Amino acid sequence: MIPVRRPFACAALVLALNGGGPALAAAPPDVSPLPGESLYQLPVTLETMAGTTEPFARHRGRPVLVTMFYTHCASVCPILTAELQRLDSRLPVEQRARIAVVMVSLDSEADTPAELRRFAAEHKITDPRWTLARTSPAEVRTLAAALGIRFKKLPDGSFDHSTTIVLLDAEGVPRDRTSELLGTSDRFVDAVATLVRRESR
């Protein structure tokens, strides 16, 4: 059962806007204070497709590409997933190894770890740098608001939602974003590569 937490109240954050292999090793613990705009201040706990739970802040210490989706989406989510895969593949191998990809479900109830694993297998997601996960309904709303992702559950159980991919730096601060689904711009790819290079020094 996913714990339901109270939404995180931080206007600055809102305004600022695995199962296929061994888990990506967590970054070394960092006890220094987080920047005020860091999304890692959000009290969000993820349940991964491997059935394990981890804080969203587990990825502190490395750049992250994060988006939101749901597994029974028959329209934009497969396209969004393919675009993330294309974006990831455009990075040089050494840079790709230093960035994590996190996809969080909008559908807490239906997207069990088993469903997340099914989706990953269907889309050939096997790289341990990728995390597919769900969280509680309250935390879905919290994370979506902080990422600037709009969504609405429809009467048939599907979701109308924006297709935003957000680039977080090593401290969880949003640094760039894109909503392109038919070929990520060179500008965004360059922004990702530049951030990875800078934070790998």
- Mean of pLDDT values over 173-197: 91
The CATH code of the domain at 39-199 is 3.40.30.10
pLDDT band at 183 (very low <50, low <70, confident <90, very high): confident
Residue 162, H or E segment = none
pLDDT band at 35 (very low <50, low <70, confident <90, very high): confident
C-beta separation of 159 from 153 below 8 A: yes
pLDDT for position 29: 53
The Cα 67–Cα 176 span in angstroms is 12
Q: Where are the domains of the chain?
A: 39-199
Tell me the per-residue pLDDT of 98-152, one tens digit each, with 9 for 90 and over. Answer: 999 999 999 999 999 999 999 999 999 999 999 999 999 999 999 999 999 999 9
| pTM for the full predicted model | 0.83
Asked whether the predicted pLDDT for residue 15 surpasses 80, the reply is no
The Cα 138–Cα 68 span in angstroms is 14
Average pLDDT value for the chain: 86
C-beta separation of 104 from 143 below 8 A: yes
pLDDT for position 31: 58
C-beta separation of 118 from 71 below 8 A: yes
